[in-house]
Structure formats: C-alpha cells, structure tokens
A = this chain, B = another copy of it.
Amino acid sequence: MARWEPDARLRLVQAAIDVYAEQGFESSTVAQVAERAGLTKATFFRHFPDKREPLFAGQDEHGALFTAGAAEAPANATPLEVVTAALDHATATFTAEQRAFGPRLRAVVAAHDELRERAAFKRAHLAEVLTTSLRERGIPDPTAAIAADLGVEAFHRAFARWSDGEGPSYGELAREELRALHAAATSLS
C-alpha cells in the first residue's frame, strides 16, 4: 500500500513527543506513535531504528553541519573562530517547528533515564565529530577537545534559550553562549 507521507519524519517526531509526554516513554509503543502520526509502523521503521530515535532526529545531521561549517573557517582561524563557524553553520538550519517543540522535547527526555542516556551519548558523539574537525586543521589535543566541548555546550544552552522563546536567532544565542563559556574557562584560577 502506497501512502502519502509528506513530512512523515516530522510528524513522527511530534507524535513521539506527544505520546511519550502523555503516557510515559516505557509504556509507549512504536505502533502508538505511528498511529498518532497517521502512519504505519513500517513507515516509522523506515525513518527511525527504535523508539528513542525520533527524539534525537537531526542530531546526526548536526555533526555533518559542524564539519561543513568548520571547513569554511579561514586557514588562520583560532580554535574559537573555527567553533564559531561550525555553530553558525549548524544553527542556520533550525526551523520554527523545532523551536516550537523544543521545550516539550527537552521535558520528555529529562523525565526518562533511558532517554537522558541516549542524549548524553549523542552529545558525546557530536563533541567527537567537532574535535575531529579541529584536529584535522592541525589544532592539537587537548585544545581541540576543549574547544569542541565548549562549542557543543554552547549549542545546547543556546537551543534551550531559543526554544524557550529567547532572542531573535539561534545563531546569535549560540555565539553569546560560546563567548560566555570561553570567558568562564579563562577565569577558573
């Protein structure tokens, strides 16, 4: 049966957030999420490998965006300038839908250990990808790792503020957070 599935991926993400928020993650099924989205279970599994992944949709793309953004920084850019370029490139892709469901998404993840675990893993992966970009530019360890950590932290802090309705653009908030994190890192002693 061919089905009409425009925006199937986005509908599944929104349905997953709704279903998990209403009845808890553990007692929810893929079938329920698919049904809420008006799609089949088979369609769900064409987009996501398991019940957790709709909540992290796009996070693999963020790594690719960081890499592409970092590559655009000039050859003589400082580590912080490379991270800024990566953030600028990644934050530019975020949509009004993502802003709208950000707070509920974060609440669902925060309420379930199994989801917080996946979130921590995704975050670590994103930091590794950015570290690799920095190292490939000749930035040594541990500078590359620290710069990447600040970048990923800024990315997440800015997303929380942006999806709570703060600020004119995600990109501006991310730059602001990165500056604040860097200032904090230089004033520890």
Q: Which residue of the partner chain B has the closest CB to A122?
A: B120
Q: Is A111 part of the contact surface with B, judged by Cβ < 8 Å?
A: no
Asked if B182 contacts A189 (CB within 8 A), the reply is yes
Q: Is A187 part of the contact surface with B, judged by Cβ < 8 Å?
A: yes
Q: Is A121 part of the contact surface with B, judged by Cβ < 8 Å?
A: yes
Asked if A181 contacts B142 (CB within 8 A), the reply is yes
Are A189 and B79 CB-contacts (below 8 A) given A120-B117, A123-B120? Answer: yes
Q: Is A80 part of the contact surface with B, judged by Cβ < 8 Å?
A: yes
**With the chains together, A145 CA to B182 CA distance in Å?**
12
From the candidates B80, B184, B189, name the one contacting A189 in the complex (CB within 8 A).
B80
Asked if A188 contacts B79 (CB within 8 A), the reply is yes
* A interface residue count range (under 10 / 10 to 19 / 20 to 34 / 35 or more): 20 to 34
Q: Which residue of the partner chain B has the closest CB to A178?
A: B188
A80 partner residues in chain B, CB cutoff 8 A: 188-189
A118 partner residues in chain B, CB cutoff 8 A: 117
A113 partner residues in chain B, CB cutoff 8 A: 121
A145: min CB distance to chain B, Å = 7
Are A145 and B153 CB-contacts (below 8 A) given A185-B185, A189-B79? Answer: yes
A149 partner residues in chain B, CB cutoff 8 A: 149, 153
A143 partner residues in chain B, CB cutoff 8 A: 184, 187-188
8 A Cβ contacts from A112-150 to B: 113, 116-118, 120-121, 123-124, 142-143, 145-147, 149-150
Question: Hey, which bits of chain A sit against chain B, CB under 8 A?
Answer: 78-81, 83, 113, 116-118, 120-121, 123-124, 142-143, 145-147, 149-150, 153, 157, 177, 180-182, 184-189
6 more contacts with CB within 8 A, not counting A80-B188, A116-B124, A182-B185, are: A78-B189, A142-B177, A145-B153, A145-B184, A149-B149, A186-B186
